[in-house]
Amino acid sequence: MSKILIIAEHLNGQLNPSTAKCVSCASKITGASIDIAVLAADPAAVAAQAAQIAGVARVRTLANAANAHALAVVYAPQVLAIAGEYTHVFGPSTTFGKDLMPRIAAKLGVSQVSDVMAVVDAHTFQRPIYAGNAIVTVKAPAGRTVVATVRTASFAAASGGGSAVIEAVAMDVPLPTHTRFVSLQQGGGDRPDLQTARVVVSGGRALGSAENFQLIYDFADKLKAGVGASRAAVDSGYAPNDLQVGQTGKIIAPELYIAIGISGAIQHLTGIKDAGTIVAINKDAEAPIFEVADIGLVADLTKAVPELMAAL
Amino acid sequence: MKILVGLKRVVDYTVRVQVKPDGSGVAIDGAKMSVNPFDEIALEEALRLREAGKASEVVVVSIGVAACMQQIDTGLAMGANRGILVKTEGAIQPLTAARVFAKLCAKEQPDLVILGKQAIDDDANQTAQMLAALLDQPQATFASKVEVDGNVARVTREVDAGLETLEVDLPAVLSVDLRLNTPRFIKLPDIMKAKSKPRETIELASLGIESGDHLATTQHAPPPKRQKGVIVKDVPELIAALKAKGLL
Ligand SMILES: Cc1cc2nc3c(=O)[nH]c(=O)nc-3n(C[C@H](O)[C@H](O)[C@H](O)COP(=O)(O)OP(=O)(O)OC[C@H]3O[C@@H](n4cnc5c(N)ncnc54)[C@H](O)[C@@H]3O)c2cc1C
Ligand SMILES: Nc1ncnc2c1ncn2[C@@H]1O[C@H](COP(=O)(O)O)[C@@H](O)[C@H]1O
């Protein structure tokens, strides 16, 4: 039987929805028993949230002052201390999981399955390569721990209403001090989180300046939407880096994605393949974004977006 | 200070890669090959550290088939001091690459290893983290700013929540994100100058590492196609289409 450990992602006492998505992925493995590990300085609040995810057997807390910030080098030895009890160790394919999980895999001497999109069986998974231009089926060796990151856009969050037991793990492993947290400059603000928002409005190079990008924020606020951006918009300084959508930014799956002044480069499209409905507004009828858009409007954004806002 | 940089040979990012009709792989024979874009950024950063007097030597490493010497050539033309090709029969997986780098680190004793955050072929995003683990060294991944001061590097990282800054003691392993810098262009004289730079070839087998190629790929499939949509003629039609789908 599969015993799966999921490493919880959290910030400021809030469990990240990526954790429930990992549970959803893990529950696709027939007969799996699923535990969540919460590493934190004070794990109580996050553990209580994790315990409510349906399908979770146990939440194991690893309290340590050194866990105040999610440093991969500090988390890894603690996860490794309990990893031997499991057949699988999963984390989300967010910057948190991408940073941490390979460090665990290497210490276990196994390859990592990155960005699991679908579970075929306990050792067989589907994942994207070449910016999502190909989906491969990969088989991890039987009899070795499976370490994987879960592509959160491919799984709906497991529902709430669970009541897993919470157990503290006593642990005394040496933790390195060679890596120190200095600061976290958070973007965001009050807008819905890009990775979980139902609607996302994204702007591209066509916005032309940071001032003009305000139009995207205003439109998004009107729709209570999250805000995204193409790499060109981020590189040009119109939008902060944490808004980048795509192969090297965030992979998202909102119900509605509205791309404004974005050409639709393959690296951008790979980030929105799982979106429900894609709307594109672009003045170039030949722009590749129209090949994937469900609804396209060939128009100048400086006219179309204000008109849309006025009509809503 | 010595810096080791990984240069992976990958299909150029402008090539639209397609799955072979029989699902046995991707059709990339004869495709344009380049240095992984993130690795050019890694090398650029190493060169800037050398030019700022913080590093004395930049060594580029490519692991793969004999043709990877082209990527070493590119790295030397950009300005690296010397190159090491670790020759393999075919593609290797990240754990194997990390084990190769670990071997080279044991020999070369670099103060910094700078790799790309991900290779745009396998999109694995693992090698730097694995190498740091194998060496028991600090890791700072997805770097968008690197400052080296004596034995410490201060690295700003692009994370989902925003920008995180870490301080790591050297030696350390870094992986770089796209916004760290813009790599320089290679000029013709650079290529001429690079011709005489030292290039070393090492056979993978001679390193005596255990293979970490554990994942068997059993099938390649094209991504699910999205249905072609409709083009609406104006804003009122767009609103009507969204309402019809229950999205407004
Ligand atoms: C290794 C690598 C990784 C990458 N990762 C990512 C990634 O994660 N995410 C990402 O987005 N990109 C990524 N890119 C970059 C990608 O290739 C494109 O360069 C980028 O997505 C282009 O952004 P854009 O569509 O905003 O700009 P452009 O391609 O310049 O498109 C601008 C569009 O705006 C339209 N336009 C102009 N004016 C108006 C107007 N007034 N009204 C309406 N439309 C207008 C134009 O017709 C055009 O289609 C990556 C590239 C590489 C090499
Ligand atoms: N075969 C290789 N040769 C040189 N560098 C490599 C190789 N494989 C991985 N790397 C380095 O590791 C980074 C991440 O690769 P990956 O983990 O495969 O996404 C790349 O950007 C390179 O810097």
Sort B182 into a burial class: Cβ within 10 Å, 0-12 / 13-18 / 19+.
Answer: exposed
Answer yes or no: are the C-beta atoms of A18 and A92 closer than 8 Å.
Answer: yes
Q: What is the pLDDT of residues A5-41, one digit of tens each?
A: 999 999 999 999 999 999 999 999 999 999 999 999 9
State whether B220 and A136 contact (CB < 8 Å).
yes
Contacting residues of B for A176, CB less than 8 Å apart: 136, 138
Q: Structural domain boundaries of chain B?
A: 2-219
Distance CA A250, CA A247 (A): 7
Nearest Cα residue to A116 out of A70, A148, A160, A162: A148
Taking the CB of residue A311, how many other CB atoms lie within 10 A of it?
A: 11
Chain A residues near residue B235 by CB distance under 8 angstroms: 297, 299, 304, 307-308, 311
H or E element in which residue B39 lies: helix B37-51
Where does B2-219 sit in CATH, by number? Answer: 3.40.50.620
> Among B63, B127, B139, B173, which is best to mutate for testing ligand 2, by the most ligand atoms less than 8 A from CB?
B127
CB atoms within 10 A of CB A2: 17
Domain ranges of chain A: 3-168, 199-311
pLDDT of residue B228: 82
* Percent of chain B with pLDDT strictly greater than 90: 98
* This prediction's pTM: 0.96
Q: Could you tell me whether strands A124-129 and A118-121 are parallel, antiparallel, or unpaired per DSSP bridges?
A: antiparallel
Q: Count of A–B CB contacts within 8 Å?
A: 255
Measured between beta carbons, the chain B residues lying within 8 angstroms of A115 are 123
Which residue lies with its CA nearest to atom 15 of ligand 1?
Answer: A231
Distance CA B240, CA B90 (A): 54
Chain A residues in contact with B141 (beta carbon < 8 A): 72, 95, 98-99
* Topology annotation, domain A199-311: Rossmann fold (3.40.50)
Is A242 an interface residue toward B (CB < 8 Å)? yes
Inspect the interface and report whether the beta carbons of A187 and B161 lie closer than 8 Å. Answer: yes
Give the mean model confidence (pLDDT) for residues B73-98.
97
Q: Examine domains A3-168 and A199-311 and report if their fold is the same.
A: yes
Note the CATH architecture for domain A3-168: 3-Layer(aba) Sandwich (3.40)
> Ligand 1 in contact with A270 (CB < 6 A)?
no
Looking at CA atoms only, how far is residue B148 from chain A in angstroms? 14
Average pLDDT of span B166-185? 97
Tokens representing residue A266 in the block? 């393959």
Q: A77: how many CB neighbours lie within 10 A of its CB? A: 18
Instruction: Say whether B235 and A179 touch across the interface (CB within 8 A).
Output: no
Under the banding of pLDDT at 50, 70 and 90, the label for residue B226 is confident
Of the ranges A146-160, A188-202, A264-278, which one carries the lowest mean pLDDT score?
A188-202
Q: Report the distance separating Cα A80 and Cα B216, nearest Å.
A: 25
- Tell if the CB–CB gap between A312 and B164 is shorter than 8 Å: no
